[in-house]
């Protein structure tokens, strides 16, 4: 993992596909071969000091996470006019420990982008709005993802959406919290 300053993100998505559970030393030379994302979990973590503990009461204000990256992944003004396999995608990652205190999208900040998010787990991310993911404009498609134990001070512990109607299919929202009654998601 690359160490960065708190204001940085771990990965920026711009016209490429990021695929978890792909390792060149597995003997698999076919990039289209099936991946086992459960067996080979690929974690993108905003925990810069590697000192975050388990989720618990008050974890967002425990003083340990304040050095974490604001956003683990960002996609800003990413266009997608080409059909698959030339799409911009995030596929097969655990996105963990973003800490966007006072801002949006701890796990993923998606602004005005056309991206596909598939087979990802958003876990223990924090933000003012959209703890796990924030979508503002664009055309995201989100499928086969898990949003677990994310927290927002405002709305959308799992996902917050503003000026966008993302296609969300086959996703699980579990134990997300928010300062409002919209704990799992705010979806217009």
Cβ within 8 Å of residue 63, ≥6 positions away: none
Whole-angstrom distance, CA of residue 167 vs CA of residue 51: 35
The percentage of the chain sitting over the pLDDT mark of 70, rounded to a whole number, equals 72
The model's confidence at residue 18, banded by pLDDT at 50, 70 and 90, is confident
Q: Please tell me the predicted confidence (pLDDT) of residue 75.
A: 87
Q: Please tell me the predicted confidence (pLDDT) of residue 50.
A: 79
The model's confidence at residue 37, banded by pLDDT at 50, 70 and 90, is confident
Q: Please tell me the predicted confidence (pLDDT) of residue 5.
A: 47
Comparing CA positions, the residue from 41, 50, 46, 146 lying closest to residue 105 is 46
- Segment of 21-30, 82-91, 111-120, 173-182 carrying the highest mean pLDDT: 111-120
Q: Per-residue pLDDT for 38 more than 60?
A: yes
| E strand segments, the chain | 9-13, 17-19, 43-45, 71-76, 89-91, 94-96, 99-104, 108-113, 116-118, 121-123, 126-129, 133-138, 141-143, 146-148, 151-152, 159-162, 167-169, 172-174, 177-178, 185-186
Domain residue limits, the chain = 9-16+39-51+62-186
pLDDT digits (tens, 9 = 90+) for 90-143: 999 999 999 998 889 999 999 988 889 999 999 999 999 999 999 998 889 999
Q: Please tell me the predicted confidence (pLDDT) of residue 1.
A: 38
Q: What is the mean pLDDT of residues 60-87?
A: 72
Question: Is residue 142 a contact partner of residue 168, using CB atoms and an 8 Å limit?
Answer: yes
* Cis bond before residue 85 (omega within 30° of 0): yes
């Amino acid at each position: 993992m690359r160490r960065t300053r708190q204001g940085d993100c771990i990965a920026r998505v711009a016209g490429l596909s990021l695929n978890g559970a792909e390792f060149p030393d597995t003997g698999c030379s076919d990039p289209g071969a099936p991946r086992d994302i459960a067996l080979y979990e690929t974690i993108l973590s905003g925990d810069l000091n590697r000192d975050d503990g388990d989720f618990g009461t008050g974890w967002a204000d425990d003083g340990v996470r304040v050095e974490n990256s604001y956003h683990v992944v960002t996609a800003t003004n990413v266009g997608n006019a080409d059909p698959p396999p030339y799409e911009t995608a995030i596929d097969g990652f655990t996105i963990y420990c973003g800490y966007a205190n006072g801002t949006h999208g701890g796990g993923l900040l998606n602004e005005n982008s056309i991206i596909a998010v598939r087979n990802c787990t958003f876990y223990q991310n924090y933000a003012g709005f959209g703890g796990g993911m924030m979508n503002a404009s664009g055309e995201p498609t989100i499928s086969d993802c898990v949003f677990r134990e994310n927290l927002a001070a405002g709305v959308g512990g799992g996902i917050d959406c503003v000026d966008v109607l993302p296609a969300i299919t086959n996703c699980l929202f579990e134990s997300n919290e928010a300062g409002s009654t919209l704990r799992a998601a705010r979806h217009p």
